Amino acid sequence: MQAPAVSFMLAQKNLSGMDIEIFDTSLRDGAQGEGISFSVRDKLALTATLDELGVAWIEAGNPGSNPKDNDFFKQACQLKLSHARLCAFGSTRKKGTKPEHDPQLASLLSAETEWVVFFGKSSALHVREILKASLNENLDMIAETTAYLVRKGRHVIYDAEHFFDGMNEDKDYALKTLRAAFDAGAERLVLCDTNGGSFPGVIAKGVKTVLSCLPPPQTALVGIHAHNDMGLALACSFAAIDSGCNHVQGTLLGFGERCGNTPLAALIPSLELKLNRRCLPEGRLSRLSLLARRAAEIANISLHDDMPYIGSHAFSHKAGMHADAVLKSSISFEHVDPVLVGNERRILMSEQGGRGAIAARLAGVWRRQSPGGGAELTAGNLPLTKDAPEIAEIARRIKTLEAEGWQFEGADASFLILAHKVLGTYISRFTILAYRVTTEHPAAEALECSYAWVKVLVDGRTEIAAAEGDGPVNALDAALRRSLLGFFPELIRVRLSDYKVRVIDGKEATAAKVRVLIESTDGEAVWTTVGVSEDIIDASRAALVDSIEYKLGHIV
């Protein structure tokens, strides 16, 4: 590759000021994932969230592909981003068209972002079979598109689509496509494993080959864009970084086309905590778990419990020996301190755990008299020890209830409520005096086919409310919330984010007990409660009541 002009070389330093540039494409590549659909409002909210995290770039969409992305870019100019740069996304000019006459490039420029991203073909097979163009014409398309965008005052990031497949087919041609973008003024060359079918060793070899072709000093930052079709996107990204890449593309939560993209929420803490490679501004890493949950809420998906670093299972300990060990020395079963990524250790309550685990979960809380005369549990310096009779009683209750089908390891909120009850510190905020649920099929008029009526008691006052729902649990939930909103307006932010039912003993057929797990969120915090009964509606009621009580009582 030939060295470009000096002015171009000076522009190609790492503008993020970090060791590794983080480029998030949740709003573009992520939006191509099945089940992901962003409104303009969603895209603005997610942009603000990613900027708060401190990523260097946010690829916000393709303004030439749909009206929604056009609307987003019109409104995005009002955002006051503190760190991230917005990028509009497009492709090379069309075959047989001059860049200045290409409507897609006109749309790309209309987004008015300082940085733009466009992709071109690096695979000779794709050029011949998909574009139906000659190899030389494809090189012209890449070079002319880059030069045109640079003339229009844009900084260019070039995505080399199918690069590693192209290297396998015709290495020299794949490198020529990079040379075409580089010589025309591209400031980032991003190597894309578009099909997600490459092993980390292939990625490493490809990156080293590209870097060896750049004139020293390597003025264009080389990046990696890996897909997860073999479950190796994260490994491939690390292989690329280890081989010299300092620009990484992915999506915060890993969702994206087909099997998804590199999950940045796993990549970032590994880079910072394991490899000492800075990629976020100071203090942002500790907000990772909170902002990832906010991003999941915006995307209307459930954050996978087993996600590294940020999932609720990431620092959970169930077996008594493991829990005991981690309490004595956290590094025995935790590879990093959960506080560093804004997560927390969870000692799971079950019959496999011991009194030490229960005491640890309640460590730092003690009983004192509240101003109202009742007892409450609050932060303090007198934690209950594992030998305390209250701890023994909590352990006995857990084992008894789990023998009946209850399960507290995934329902920490219900465990804490149980502990408060044993300690005599539980203060109920409301009581359900009566409720009724009816269902009819088919529904008479609208989609709602179930109806619920609830009578509650709050501070000596009764309230009655009714609601319709798409099913009996939905109707009961709606009626209960309606009856309580006048007393507790903060419940307007609470919603069910997941609902699971499991038959405990199938031998009893339809008379079997069922266990209901309900996950709730207020947009930031997430908590889970459990209910068990032979009646699925009553099991749901128990879990719903615990969910609301947990929120209202701020139980710890």
Give the least confident one: 23-37, 213-227, 452-466.
Answer: 213-227
Does some domain include residue 361?
no
Kindly indicate the confidence band of residue 362, based on its pLDDT and cuts at 50, 70 and 90.
confident
Residue 132's H or E segment, with its range, is none
Q: Which residues of 26-36 are buried (b: 16+ CB within 10 A; e: fewer)?
A: bbbbbbebeeb
- Inside any domain, residue 395: no
User: Would you call 288 helix, strand, or coil by DSSP?
Assistant: helix
pLDDT of the residue at 375: 38
The pTM is what? Answer: 0.74
Average pLDDT over residues 108-127: 96
In whole angstroms, give the CA distance from residue 153 to residue 98. 18
506: confidence class by pLDDT, cuts 50, 70, 90: low
pLDDT confidence band for 350 (50 / 70 / 90):
low
Q: What is the pLDDT at residue 365? A: 44
Is residue 46 within 8 A of residue 25, CB to CB? The reply is no
280 located within any domain: yes
Q: Does some domain include residue 135?
A: yes
Domain with 507 in it = 431-553
Out of 274, 299, 324, a domain closes at 299
The counts of H helices and E strands in the chain are: 18, 18
Where does the pLDDT of residue 376 fall: very low under 50, low under 70, confident under 90, or very high at 90 and above?
Answer: very low
What is the token pair recorded at 92? 């090379």
Residue 38 belongs to a domain with what CATH number? 3.20.20.70
Q: Is residue 129 part of a domain?
A: yes
The three-state secondary structure class of 446 is coil
Closest CA to 474 of 449, 493, 446, 444: 449
Q: What is the CATH number of the domain that holds 546?
A: 3.30.160.270
Count Cβ atoms within 10 A of the Cβ of residue 543 and give its class: 0-12 exposed, 13-18 middle, 19 or more buried. buried
Distance CA 92, CA 144 (A): 8
Kindly report which listed range (36-40, 44-48, 402-406, 428-432) carries the lowest average pLDDT score.
402-406
Is 463 within the bounds of a domain? yes
Q: Which of the given ranges, 175-189, 302-316, 400-414, has the highest pLDDT on average?
A: 175-189
Which pLDDT value is given to residue 406? Answer: 86
pLDDT, one tens digit per residue, over 133-176 is 999 999 999 999 999 999 999 999 999 999 999 999 999 999 99
Residue 298 to residue 49: CA distance in whole angstroms: 10
Residues of the chain above pLDDT 90, percent: 62
User: What integer pLDDT is reported at residue 390 of this predicted model?
Assistant: 82
Per-residue pLDDT band for 110 (boundaries 50, 70, 90) equals: very high
Mean pLDDT of the chain: 86
Task: Single out the residue in 256, 282, 299 at which a domain terminates.
Answer: 299
Structural domain ending residue among the three candidates 299, 317, 332: 299
Name the CA dihedral angle for 131, 134, 135, 139, rounded to a multiple of 10 degrees.
-80
Total domains in the fold of the chain: 2
Q: Does 502 reside within a domain?
A: yes
* 3-class SS of residue 437: strand
Quick one: average pLDDT of 238-242?
A: 97
The whole-number average pLDDT for the span 482-510 is 84
Banded pLDDT at 447 (limits 50, 70, 90)? low
Per-residue pLDDT for 317 more than 90?
no
Give 227's pLDDT tier (boundaries 50, 70, 90). very high
Helix (H) / strand (E) containing 151? helix 135-151
Q: Is the domain of 141 the same as that of 288?
A: yes
Domain membership flag for residue 385: no
Instruction: Give the 3-state secondary structure of residue 486.
Output: coil
Angstrom CA distances, 420 to 5, 10, 414, 474, 544, stand at 71, 63, 10, 28, 18
Q: Is the pLDDT of residue 379 over 60?
A: no
Burial label for 119, CB within 10 Å (0-12, 13-18, 19+), is buried
72-86, 143-157, 288-302, 401-415: which range is least confident on average? 401-415
